[in-house]
Amino acid sequence: MSTLTDLDRREGLPDEWRFLLEDYPREVWSGHRNLGPLMQFWLERHDGFRALGRTLDETLGRFREGKMQAQQFGAFFGPRLQQFLSQLHHHHQIEDHHYFPVFMAAEKRLVGGFELLEGDHELIHHRIETTVGSANALFRELQSGNRDRILRAADSFADTSDLLISGLMRHLDDEEDLIVPLVLDRTEGALGVM
């Protein structure tokens, strides 16, 4: 896989899929007349994933540094992690089955970009499963009370979580760079995604 398409190594979309982004750079999105309610909601969902990802990362860091007790950490972290992972999975299902096919049909030059994003979703889903397994191991160790085992489990979880969240952040940016300019160019109504 090339650095242009590898989720963990790419630094943005390949130039061949950026032609609409050149006409509709991020700076014009928020005030653009074609940024309809669906795209506004969708961008808010992405910002929500970013914010919750940061919260989870910061909370795990505080726990690993000894600034939170195990019970406090588990009570705060568990529900938020579950919310983050389940909503992310559901969000990707909607994109894969409802929106991406519409966008691919509307602009054939971007089909490869949407296929790339679908591939990201598959990788992210695998990472969600790995993260769930690692989280379950951490929560089991929290019950043990053995600080050394808890910290090893927290370190292991941090590795899987970091991989998930860093890939997700790259994916969200790339997804927005592909989709928002297309919607601004064509409108939600013309695309049929209102």
What confidence tens digit (pLDDT) does each residue in 18-34 have?
A: 999 999 999 999 999 99
Tokens 């598959």 map to which residue? Answer: 122
For the CA atoms of 115, 121, 124, 126, the dihedral, rounded to the nearest 10 degrees, stands at -100
pLDDT at residue 194 is higher than 90: no
Mean pLDDT across the chain:
95
pLDDT in tens, 95-144: 999 999 999 999 999 999 999 999 999 999 999 999 999 999 999 999 99
Q: Would you list the domain boundaries of the chain?
A: 15-191
Position 89 scores a pLDDT of 94
Give the residue-averaged pLDDT of 33-45: 96
Residue of 95, 92, 101, 177 lying closest to 128 (CA atoms): 92
Position 91 scores a pLDDT of 96
pTM check: above 0.75: yes
8 Å CB contact between 13 and 177 = yes
From residue 183, alpha-carbon distances to 3, 16, 26, 40, 191 in Å are 27, 18, 13, 11, 7
CA 92/CA 126 separation, integer angstroms: 13
